[in-house]
């Protein structure tokens, strides 16, 4: 179906070249991050999948389970620039984007870039920022640029924002607006480690933190090549319709106040391409859609008031939709 000139190179196991690129990049980063974040292989793979899919990731969990360390390990693995923004209620938009300052020497205003101008940005406790500051992130996330005093500054590629928030509604937190939640491609939960894993954490950190010994395993150029390569993965029309059926069902579900946006179907589509490539396949299968529907769609669904009283979560709604949506007959190509 696709004729790629690069695919004609001799390959050790007949994998097309673009699939090989994605697999190598994903495996190297996952293996590297696994040395720091113990026992969370699935969550790390999802984060790497988001990185290769060029999407932002929301990590929602209680404090102290390794959210910041995951972002740092990811940045170190690809040798990219990294910055961390610790959000507080009194933070201003200029604290994120940067500011123009007057230079006494040359009598000109100079732009001092804010922490958002890095390739991997950890937005820590994003729900502590006031709505005005949260909105400063919207332009960066969607258009990969920031505007300060009427002047636009492009962000460096690749740009990935890892937002973290605590699910417990503490005092002094502002729930993320729907428009901002929608700009996160994936939402993942780390959760507590199992006792054996926690023991391994104590042992590994006895003398120093393992991140100190972590080194770069992939270049930024290799990552960009992998990001381009996943777009070549074939998606059959039946699988595309299956994605649309699931997203459409989220809009008509009786327990839903507001369903997923078209951005949600696009996120699910792109993530499925990446998952297929990471598994060594040139095509997407319905199982890819099933595996990624919850992490790509649940944060875009607003549960209706009566369902909220009955304690029905958006994740449970996605599972219900998956159970009731007919799966297309798996035709590969």
Q: Kindly report the CATH number assigned to the domain that includes residue 156.
A: 3.40.50.300
Please give the Cα distance from 310 to 255 (Å, whole number).
10
> Can you tell me which residue has the tokens 């009427």?
150
Q: Are both 326 and 182 inside the same structural domain?
A: no
Q: Are both 255 and 141 inside the same structural domain?
A: no
**What's residue 278's pLDDT?**
94
Q: Are both 181 and 247 inside the same structural domain?
A: no
Please give the Cα distance from 128 to 224 (Å, whole number).
32
**What's residue 333's pLDDT?**
46
Q: Are both 74 and 121 inside the same structural domain?
A: yes
**What's residue 172's pLDDT?**
63
Strand partners, 234: 283
Q: How many domains does the chain have?
A: 2
Final residue in a domain of this structure, among 232, 252, 279: 232
Final residue in a domain of this structure, among 217, 232, 247: 232
> Can you tell me which residue has the tokens 């495996």?
27
**What's residue 10's pLDDT?**
40
Q: Are both 98 and 176 inside the same structural domain?
A: yes
Q: Are both 39 and 64 inside the same structural domain?
A: yes
Q: Are both 160 and 225 inside the same structural domain?
A: yes
**What's residue 212's pLDDT?**
79
Q: Are both 205 and 142 inside the same structural domain?
A: yes
Q: Are both 248 and 224 inside the same structural domain?
A: no
Please give the Cα distance from 299 to 179 (Å, whole number).
11
Print the domain residue range for 314: 233-333
Q: Are both 228 and 100 inside the same structural domain?
A: yes
Task: Chunk the chain into consecutive blocks of 10 residues (it has 333) and report each block's average pLDDT, rounded to whole numbers.
Answer: 41 72 92 86 91 91 79 86 89 89 84 89 87 84 87 88 77 75 89 80 77 86 92 93 94 88 93 95 93 92 86 88 84 47
pTM of the model: 0.85
Q: Are both 226 and 318 inside the same structural domain?
A: no
Please give the Cα distance from 50 to 116 (Å, whole number).
19
Question: For residue 166, what are its two tokens?
Answer: 């605590």
CATH number at residue 243: 1.10.8.80
**Residue 206: Cβ-neighbour burial (10 angstroms; 0-12, 13-18, 19+):** exposed
Handedness of CA 321, 326, 332, 333 (dihedral sign): negative
**What's residue 11's pLDDT?**
43
Q: Are both 161 and 51 inside the same structural domain?
A: yes
């Amino acid at each position: 179906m696709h004729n790629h000139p690069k695919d004609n190179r001799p390959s050790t196991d007949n994998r097309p070249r673009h699939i090989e690129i994605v697999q190598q990049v994903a495996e190297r980063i996952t293996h590297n991050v696994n040395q720091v974040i113990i026992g969370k292989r699935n969550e790390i793979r999802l984060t790497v999948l988001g990185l290769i899919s060029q999407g932002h990731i929301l990590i929602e969990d209680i404090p102290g389970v390794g959210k910041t360390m995951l972002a740092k390990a990811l940045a170190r693995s690809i040798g990219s620039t990294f910055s961390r923004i610790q959000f507080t209620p009194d933070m201003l938009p200029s604290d994120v984007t940067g500011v123009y300052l007057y230079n006494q020497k040359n009598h000109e205003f100079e732009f001092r870039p804010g922490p958002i101008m890095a390739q991997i940005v950890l937005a820590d406790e994003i729900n502590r920022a006031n709505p005005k500051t949260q909105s400063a992130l919207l332009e960066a996330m969607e258009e990969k640029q920031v505007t300060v005093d009427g002047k636009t500054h492009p962000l460096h590629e690749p740009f990935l924002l890892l937002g973290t928030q605590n699910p417990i509604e503490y005092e002094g937190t502002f729930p993320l607006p729907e428009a901002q939640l929608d700009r996160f491609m994936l939402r993942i939960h780390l959760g507590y480690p199992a006792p054996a894993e926690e023991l391994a954490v104590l042992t590994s950190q006895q003398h120093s933190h393992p991140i100190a010994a972590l080194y770069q395993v992939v270049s930024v150029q290799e990552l960009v090549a992998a990001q381009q390569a996943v777009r070549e993965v074939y998606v059959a029309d039946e699988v595309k319709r299956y994605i649309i059926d699931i997203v459409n069902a989220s809009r008509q579900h009786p327990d839903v106040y507001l369903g997923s946006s078209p951005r949600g179907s696009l996120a699910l589509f792109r993530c499925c391409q990446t998952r297929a490539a990471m598994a060594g396949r040139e095509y997407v299968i319905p199982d890819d859609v099933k595996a990624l529907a919850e992490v790509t769609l649940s944060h875009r669904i607003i549960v209706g008031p009566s369902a909220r009283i009955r304690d029905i979560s958006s994740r449970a709604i996605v599972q219900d939709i998956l159970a009731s949506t007919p799966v297309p007959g798996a035709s590969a190509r």
